[in-house]
Amino acid sequence: MTVKHGGNIQEISEVYQKGKERLIDFSANINPLGIPEGVERVIANSITQLIHYPDSRYQTLIRSIANFHEISEAFIYPSNGAAEAIFMLGSTLKVNKLLLLAPTFGEYEAAFSQSGTEFCYFYLEERNFKWSVTELIQVAETQKVDGICLCNPNNPVGQILSKRELDKLFEFCCKNEVVLILDEAFVDFTKEENSLISSINDYPNLYILRSLTKMFAIPGLRLGYLLTSNLSTLRAIKKRSIPWHINTFADLAGRQALKEHSFIEESQRYIQKERLFLEKGLSAFEEIELFPSQTNFLFFRYLGSGCLYKSLIHKNIVIRDCSDFKGLTKKYYRIAVKSRTENQVLLNALEGIL
């Protein structure tokens, strides 16, 4: 199963015969503030360390993650991007029937297909993307699932479950011994209170995925991690893991990134301001039906004629065409929140098209 993603600028430049440097990429949800200076310094000053193998135990990185979240070091598996953690979990954890949102990130299904997991779906479009945990639980009970996997905030829609809603879902999963997998790749663009990490010690069937590549703008380095108190699952994953699966630059960058508290706070403020700017601008177009988002990207239905994706490509702007997401029947697109200059370029381009 091959899943398409945003950020494939090289392929797009080849297909449309446009230089990469000319394209503005709204298809990848990366922090527009770029790499923190502290992380850049660490990478630049570490070139001589490449003559050595990384510490295959990643003890210092694990300690940094544990300190950041105030959890036990024993609960952490650092990974080559969150994608590796998803696939390691999918090949290790036995789930007979898994409930997924539709649409959502496609790699969950790809990962758990490895083990013959059956899937059922909670369709968002038919609810006009307005739903509650109560409805989700009803579907879980009806379908008799033994696993639920959620992206929170959900990709590509951008909606987030509040802590109260998460607690309700967590209580249901605990009571019914349902595996709960939460992908929190974009939660740090909101607030940590929207996370279930504080409950990690309370239920061994809770698995939380995190990414460092979005907030710290290092997708080329590939770094994420899995959190769980299920030590037997972690042991099984580590047995399957290849040696040195995280490179030296990613290891060192991750340690520094988790010290960048001021950068995180600045990024949250910036994203909120620019998201509101984009929302106001997009709402002025009758051809665009915008849905609420609480993170660093926006999701909308295009009501106009023609292919908006190709129209914007001709103006050197790349957005995420969501037609390959399961459960979507109309023309939907996702755009990242970028810098004020880039956001204005997008709005100007849309005005010219629409």
Q: Give me the count of residues in the chain.
A: 354
Average pLDDT over residues 246-274: 97
Vertex 210: Cα angle to 258 and 5 (nearest 5): 120
Mean pLDDT value across residues 53-60: 97
* pLDDT for position 16: 87
Q: Which helix (H) or strand (E) holds 123?
A: strand 118-123
Q: Say yes or no to pLDDT of 3 above 80.
A: no
CA distance 23 to 278: 19
Ordered structural domains, the chain, with CATH: 9-30+262-352 (3.90.1150.10), 46-259 (3.40.640.10)
* pLDDT at site 1: 63
Alpha-helical segments (H) within the chain: 9-15, 37-44, 59-69, 81-92, 107-112, 133-143, 163-176, 231-240, 248-257, 261-283, 308-313, 340-353
Given pLDDT bands bounded at 50, 70 and 90, which one contains residue 104?
very high
Give residue-wise pLDDT tens across range 184-196.
999 999 976 789 9
| 124 touches 269 (CB < 8 A) | no
pLDDT digits (tens, 9 = 90+) for 119-139: 999 999 999 999 999 999 999
Query: How does residue 7 score in pLDDT terms, banded at 50, 70 and 90?
Result: confident
Give 311's contacts (C-beta < 8 A, 6+ positions apart).
Answer: 353
Q: What is the overall mean pLDDT for the chain? A: 96
Q: Is the pLDDT of residue 260 over 90?
A: yes
What pLDDT does 165 receive?
Answer: 95
* Interval 38-43 mean pLDDT: 98
pLDDT at site 236? 97
